[in-house]
Amino acid sequence: MSHCCIPGCTYVYKNAVIKRSLFKILRPEFAKSEEERNHRESLVQSILSIRDPTKGDKIKDMLHREMASICEAHFTENDFTVHSKSKTLKLGSIPTLHMPEKSCTVPKISYFKDSHLIILSGYHVKCP
Ligand SMILES: [Zn+2]
């Protein structure tokens, strides 16, 4: 799937003039380490918390098939590592930028960043 699954984000890879990196959301149960699993779970959680309920559970199906991606516009520069031809998401990075209005408050979220477990109650994201 070559488009971003954040509601309101219109980024589609094949039509884009300036290419952004798309980070695929992989299934937590297939992670190789505890930290990786926690990170994947926090990404899944952040996607599910902002999904558009009018569009049903399509996103769950996409997550299940590992076809959901988030584009780099929703991450800060410090959230990914830049390689010569690609970018990879750092462990613990979750999308915080250009999020839809209704995602302003997510009740509770926990994630790993730099090997530390971070638990936020009332996680606020900046709304555009
Ligand atoms: Zn996007």
Where do the structural domains in the chain lie, given as residue ranges? 13-124
Q: Ligand 1 centroid vs 106 CA: distance in angstroms?
A: 18
DSSP tally for the chain: helices H, then strands E = 2, 6
CA distance 128 to 70: 17
Q: What is the pLDDT of residue 126?
A: 47
Q: Ligand 1 centroid vs 127 CA: distance in angstroms?
A: 14
Which is more confidently placed, 39 or 56? Answer: 39
CA distance 36 to 112: 8
**What band does 26 get if pLDDT is binned at 50, 70 and 90?**
very high
CA distance 25 to 27: 7
Using only C-alpha atoms, the chain has a radius of gyration, in whole angstroms, of: 14
pLDDT one-digit tens code per residue, 74-121: 999 999 999 998 899 999 999 999 887 654 555 566 677 777 776 665
Q: Ligand 1 centroid vs 97 CA: distance in angstroms?
A: 9
Report phi then psi at 35, rounded to 5.
-65, -40
Per-residue pLDDT averaged across 37-43, rounded? Answer: 95
Q: What is the pLDDT of residue 99?
A: 83
CA distance 63 to 47: 9
Neighbours of ion ligand 1 (CB under 5 A): 4, 6, 9, 11, 71, 73
When the pLDDT of each residue in the chain is averaged and rounded to a whole number, the result is 84
> Max Cα separation, the chain?
40
Q: What is the pLDDT of residue 73?
A: 95
Give the predicted TM-score (pTM) of the model.
0.76
Tokens of 51: 């999904």
**What band does 39 get if pLDDT is binned at 50, 70 and 90?**
very high
Task: Give the type of residue at 69.
Answer: S
Q: What is the pLDDT of residue 121?
A: 53
Q: What is the pLDDT of residue 54?
A: 74
